[in-house]
Chain A
Amino acid sequence: MRVHAKRAGALLGGLMFPAWSQADWTLNMRPGVTGISNDIFSLHMTILWICVAIGIVVFGVMFWSIFAHRKSQGHKASNFHENTVVEILWTIIPFVILVIMAIPATATLINMYDTTEPDVNIRITGYQWKWQYQYVDDNFGYFSNLATPPDQISNREDKGEHYLLEVDNPLIVPVGKKIRFLVTSNDVIHSWWVPEFGVKKDAIPGYINETWAKVDEPGIYRGQCTELCGKNHGFMPIVVKAVPQPEYAAWVSDQKAAAEKERELTQKDWTMEELMARGEKVYQTTCAACHQPDGSGSPPAFPALNGSPIATGDQAGHINVVFNGRAGTAMQAFGKQLSEVDLAAVITYERNAWGNKKGDMVTPKQILDYKKKQQ
């Protein structure tokens, strides 16, 4: 299959850009690393070649006429204007080709829809503008944010190899297992696409769409959100790392332990410095995209936090805004997105960073209490 792809690519490339065909100009779809993505690839190549063949015949006749039947060549026009046999033929032949094409397409589609008997279940939730991955069977999860530094995007720094296609926490999956993805969204419609898996599914708020993949080869696979979801639609990539089963099992138990530890951290007594250090990290990944790294915001949509009445006001009001968001604005509810520790840290950070020198701190326990009151 891969040979097929390369040959096709080289052929097309050679035809169109003879001088450049050595350069890295990707022309074609890649076959990918799942059974389905390979099926899709062969459907793609079949239909492409059918189109090329029809194109050669039709355009061949046309160019022949353009070449040979010109008035300037003295060609006299015939007067025929219908031929029932020909007209029936060129209705029926395309129809037959389509029927032949529909058979493998149907088989592949049915296979793609078969999400039964999964080995691993992962719930994927789209947020403006990041992905959340929850390992339903093992009861832990995390967010996956763009990791490209803002300076690269604004051209103040050279762009890295995986510019815009890198995240802080990739999705980890085991190879050789059937993974069922439960795709949904928290706000607007997103779409989760990993080309190498042949998986693209829209994340619809309030609904869950199912899809699945069984990855054959370990490796890192990159994709992007493919449904316009607002300002940073172009900045919410997907990175999946497929690892062998033992490595996956070890990672899962680490994650479970870490999740447990996180829960313990809530009970710990935090110092101001610890909270500020952690808060800065959370701020940069979660808040800085809108409110800017220096808290200056970009009004009116995204107000400045530096000197804002909320960040320098009473704690309850501040917690409320971060926890529940602001209805009718771009401010989201972070109460369910961040852990108690992260919420406490980021709120403490906002109250004490830049010109905000409140000097007070919000502890994870306070957040926990707040959470209980909310319910």
Chain B
Amino acid sequence: MSAVADTHTQEHHHGPARGFTRWLLTTNHKDIGTMYLVFSFTMFLLGGSMAMVIRAELFQPGLQIVQPEFFNQMTTMHGLIMVFGAVMPAFVGLANWMIPMMIGAPDMALPRMNNWSFWLLPCAFLILVSTLFMKGGAPNFGWTFYAPLSTTYGPPSTTFFIFAIHMMGISSIMGAINVIATILNLRAPGMTLMKMPLFVWTWLITAFLLIAVMPVLAGVVTMMLMDINFGTSFFDASGGGDPVLFQHVFWFFGHPEVYIMILPAFGAVSHIIPAFSRKPLFGYASMVYAVGAIALLSFVVWAHHMFTVGIPIAGQLFFMYATMLIAVPTGVKVFNWVATMFRGSLSFETPMLFAVAFVILFTIGGFSGLMLAIAPSDFQYHDTYFVVAHFHYVLVPGAIFGIFASAYFWLPKWTGHMYDETLGKTHFWLSFIGMNLAFFPMHFLGLAGMPRRIPDYALQFADFNMVSSIGAFTFGATQLLFLFIVIKCIRGGKEAPAKPWEGAEGLEWTLPSPAPYHTFATPPEVK
């Protein structure tokens, strides 16, 4: 036993392996976190360039650049890649890097499975992206892939798409199991649940959501697979099925999925705002309860995506009320963040800029969400650009700004260098302007009656579409700057101290910067 323990301690002293095998075979949570983040950014650029194609086509009325068929493939792939390839892996990457360091654990609970969770993703996306080159083209039915457009009327590549989704699902479920096991089992002695950092709390709940709903997504794509290839009639009325059944099952996954993409950002922002306000987070306990409430409510609101499909009035009312209720815990979180800033000692480094923009713009997205929750009004908003504006407001300045804020906040810990503050602020302001220019006019377009997912539009929509495209190009181009900033920061820059931010709290700041390859081999004591 003692011999084993000895080799074991030694293991923790040597650093990473050399060469490509370091990444291929690694079990180290920091390596895996890095790979997730790099993969996510790659997908962000790929999905982003598809968005550029969309915005270029919509720059003017008329068909200029792509045909409607390809346009539909672009909207579909843009959505899928951004949701499953960019946002989710980015948060898993942050979880991998930060959760063990935040709770004083030596690594993730199941390190080999952690590696598998990651490597499944590039494989799944290889299959998904390869559909673009297949006969009949890539999936063209929107990221929500409603049957029967995606079954009876789908292109042949749909079957590949289904298996790609299965692989992403397996990856997410294993990743989530790992996060839960780590949080529940590997916390440093003394760190009770209500002492956990909020990022860890939000990820615990996110992981629960993932395990609960990814299998449901797997179930619904399996039903599609059977309808397409084995003659079942789940989504075909002539055999007694119902296309709307697809939507119910899909959105039972889809709504919690929305929170999966935002809760970890809530957590990260709840670290960044106190750090740069130099003041403890206001209402820690209510933050935790609010996240819990949001997660639970997310299971009973799915049909608000389907107000126009003809669900019975009782269902319609139930889902309207439940959806409106979500505004309460979400409001609590926003109020808490503002109260944290109130009478603090504020400074505005890049992470804080992104975090403050997050609070403001996410709240705007929340407001339009509240408007969409009012079922009668939703009949006018549904499937128009108002919805497009709404979910881009919660996802771009919500999820993506949350990720940028986290990246700038923790880059010094990861690389041991400070990033270039001027460039960081430039990145922020250009993103902020570009994003608002791109998405705010979409509210007006939707209210004026422009449906979503159309490659060409009536003349009264021309002006705002042009503004929106200009904004989108600005936002898109700006992201290359982020790549430059990160590379620059990895290669050099001012040495980062263990705790580069005056007001930051938590175990991760007790470690040197850059964090050693293995940390907390012996758990610290938390008082």
Contact = CB atoms under 8 A, between A and B. Distances in A.
A136 interface: no
A61 B62 contact: no
Contact of A205 (B140, B237, B331, B453): B237
Residues of A contacting B: mostly: mixed
A322 interface: no
Contact of B363 (A58, A102, A223, A226): A58
Interface in A140-174: 152-155, 159, 161-165
Contact of A106 (B135, B280, B317): B317
Contacts of B238: 206
Interface in A63-105: 64-66, 69-72, 75-83, 86-87, 90-91, 94-95, 98, 101-102, 105
A89 B317 CA distance: 26
Contacts of B359: 62
B2 interface: no
Given A55-B367, A69-B345, 15 more contacts: A37-B380, A69-B343, A77-B343, A81-B284, A83-B339, A87-B286, A98-B328, A164-B458, A187-B153, A201-B308, A202-B310, A204-B310, A226-B384, A226-B452, A234-B453
B237 to A, nearest CB: 2
A262 interface: no
Given A95-B328, A204-B243, A43 B374 contact: yes
Contacts, number: 283
B113 to A, nearest CB: 37
Contacts of A279: none
Given A90-B332, A98-B327, A163-B61, A228 B341 contact: no
Interface residues of A, number: 98
B338 A234 contact: no
Interface residues of B, number: 94
Contacts of A159: 61-62, 459
A226 B382 contact: yes
Contact of A98 (B141, B325, B356): B325
A106 B384 CA distance: 23
B457 interface: yes
B453 A102 contact: no
A167 B150 CA distance: 28
Given A55-B363, A105-B374, A159-B62, A200 B280 contact: no
Interface of A: 23-29, 36-37, 39-40, 43-44, 47-48, 51, 54-55, 58-59, 61-62, 64-66, 69-72, 75-83, 86-87, 90-91, 94-95, 98, 101-102, 105-106, 108-110, 112-113, 128, 152-155, 159, 161-165, 187-189, 191, 193, 195, 198-202, 204-207, 209-210, 223-235, 300-301, 330
B375 A105 contact: yes
Given A51-B371, A165-B458, A77 B277 contact: yes
Interface in B210-266: 236-238, 242-244
Interface stretch (B63-71, B197-205, B492-500): B63-71
Interface string B152-174: 11000000000000000000000
Nearest to B464: A25
A201 B316 CA distance: 14
Interface of B: 61-64, 68-69, 72, 135-136, 140-142, 146, 148-149, 152-153, 236-238, 242-244, 277-286, 308-310, 313, 316-317, 320-321, 324-325, 327-328, 331-332, 334-335, 338-348, 356, 359-360, 363-364, 367, 370-371, 374-377, 379-380, 382-384, 444, 447-449, 451-460, 463-464, 503
Which residue, B149, B242, B325, has most C-beta atoms of chain A within 10 A?
Answer: B149
Contacts of A189: 146, 148-149, 243
B345 A77 contact: yes
Contacts of A223: 449
A81 B152 CA distance: 57
A61 B332 CA distance: 15
Contacts of B325: 95, 98
A159 B345 CA distance: 57
A39 B374 CA distance: 12
Given A71-B346, A153-B62, A65 B341 contact: yes
Contacts of A206: 236-238, 242-243
Contacts of A91: 328, 331-332
B368 to A, nearest CB: 8
Contacts of B146: 188-189, 227-228
A123 to B, nearest CB: 15
Contact of A69 (B69, B346, B463): B346
A209 B310 contact: yes
Contact of B280 (A81, A101, A102, A300): A81
A239 to B, nearest CB: 12
A165 to B, nearest CB: 5
B282 A65 contact: no
A50 B346 CA distance: 29
A61 B279 CA distance: 16
